Amino acid sequence: MAKTAIVTGCSSGIGLESALELARAGYTVYAGLRDEARAGPLKDGSSKDGSDIKTFQVNVADGESVRSAAGRILDEAGSIDVLVNNAGYGLFGSIEDISIQDMRKQFETNFFGAVEMIQQLAPGMRAQKSGRIINISSVAGRIGFPCSPAYVSSKFALEGLSECLRYELGAHGVQTVLIEPGVVKTKFMDNASMKAPKAGSPYAEITEKVIAGIRMMAELGTQATDVAKIVLKAATDPDPLPRYVVGNDAVMFLESKKTMTDAEFEDYIKKELY
Ligand SMILES: NC(=O)c1ccc[n+]([C@@H]2O[C@H](COP(=O)([O-])OP(=O)(O)OC[C@H]3O[C@@H](n4cnc5c(N)ncnc54)[C@H](OP(=O)(O)O)[C@@H]3O)[C@@H](O)[C@H]2O)c1
């Protein structure tokens, strides 16, 4: 029988390509969309491939939406083999330029959205003694940089959660895996929330530099299709790694962090940015 996967955030980018990649590999895919009117690219892709993708509406920042979507899918599919927590967005702005509400909203989607999906699906996976939870983190889940404290903290939280679940759920046959891409060429920066520095903010210059830097890197960034291939690998590897780093930029940053002292690494980032 075909294995079943759920992917959140499938209107574009990594979620869209991961849903298509899993469907091409034979998974029955439930692709989550916050707005089902944005299913066009998913439907075009699946009809081109001849694969069968079922869409469902979910806003991961809304607990009721997650609970009712998960309940409907479990009723229909019976069991879930793979959950890809992909839905997310970037929030850029210094700690003094974002509000606490901005920060909470960032966590509601990037962190609590994943938590709630996992809470709905982990009991079934544990009962069947198998399953994969694939959390789309980022190189920003391992490295902090200026003017992105909300985004970085939400991804660090996802990393911490995933490490805990490797023990808790791992003991019951359910594996948790992190995907850590560098900059990927998607709509991420267009969809990001940019908090303009307040008048006279001392962070104006560095905010502009960071955002321009990411936009520039995105032009040359890893393709979402390449990240999707790694998502499939994480779903199918007999013995999956705890984390998969994707993209030359991510490999370079994380290797540097591993081989340098904290002070050396900070100096290196400062030289790049300031
Ligand atoms: N692009 C990068 O450089 C990069 C690098 C590392 C990690 N990532 C991570 O990869 C994931 C996907 O990003 P992407 O690059 O593919 O960007 P994207 O093209 O902007 O896709 C983001 C997806 O998440 C959905 N989404 C956002 N908030 C949601 C919510 N509350 N409920 C349900 N869906 C929601 C969006 O749906 P709507 O159409 O409704 O907005 C969209 O489908 C994110 O978690 C991101 O942090 C991206």
CB 11 less than 6 A from any atom of ligand 1: yes
Closest CA to 228 of 190, 192, 186: 186
Q: Which residue, 117, 83, 71, is CA-closest to 15?
A: 83
Atom 25 (ligand 1) nearest CA: 9
132 CB-contact burial (10 Å; exposed 0-12 / middle 13-18 / buried 19+): buried
CA 14 from centre of chain: 8
Q: Does domain 4-273 have CATH number 3.90.1150.10?
A: no
Q: Which residues are catalytic?
A: 151
Rounded-to-integer distance, Cα 61 and Cα 204, Å: 30
pLDDT digits (tens, 9 = 90+) for 226-266: 999 999 999 999 999 999 999 999 999 999 999 999 999 99
193 has a pLDDT exceeding 90:
yes
CA-191 nearest atom, ligand 1: 20
- Ligand 1 centre to CA of 88 (Å) is 4
> Would you state the structure tokens that stand for residue 77, as one six-digit string?
């599919």
Q: 35: Cβ below 6 Å to ligand 1?
A: yes
Full DSSP string of 84-104:
EE-----EES-TTTS-HHHHH
Atom in ligand 1 nearest the alpha carbon of residue 139: 6
Does the structure show a pLDDT above 90 at 1? no
Task: Evaluate: CB of 253 within 6 angstroms of ligand 1.
Answer: no
The mean pLDDT of the chain is 97
Q: What is the mean pLDDT of residues 93-119?
A: 98
Q: Which atom of ligand 1 is nearest to the CA of 181?
A: 6
Q: Is the CB of 191 under 6 A from ligand 1?
A: yes
pLDDT above 90: percentage of residues in the chain: 98
Distance between Cα 89 and ligand 1 center (Å):
5
Q: Which residue, judged by its Cα, is nearest atom 17 of ligand 1?
A: 188
Q: Is 186 in the pocket of ligand 1 (CB under 6 A)?
A: yes
Rounded to whole angstroms, the Cα distance separating 176 from 82 reads 10
The encoded tokens of residue 34 equal 């916050």
14 CB less than 6 Å from ligand 1? yes
* DSSP bridge pairs for 178: 135, 243
86 Cα: distance to centroid of ligand 1 (angstroms): 6
Q: pLDDT at position 66, please?
A: 98
Residue located nearest, by CA, to atom 15 of ligand 1: 188
Q: Name the phi and psi angles at 22, rounded to 5.
A: -65, -40
- SS3 state at 228: helix
pLDDT tens sequence across 68-85: 999 999 999 999 999 999
Residue 221 alpha carbon, nearest atom of ligand 1: 3
Task: Single out the residue of 265, 225, 230, 261 nearest to residue 246, CA to CA.
Answer: 230
Q: Is the pLDDT of residue 271 over 90?
A: yes
Tokens of 270: 């400062």
Q: Is 197 in the pocket of ligand 1 (CB under 6 A)?
A: no
Q: Is the pLDDT score of 274 beyond 90?
A: no
For residue 222, the ligand 1 atom closest to its alpha carbon is 3
**Ligand 1 contact, 141 CB (< 6 A):** no
pLDDT reported for residue 90 = 98
Q: State mean pLDDT over 78-97.
A: 98
pLDDT of residue 52: 81
pLDDT tens-place string over residues 115-171: 999 999 999 999 999 999 999 999 999 999 999 999 999 999 999 999 999 999 999
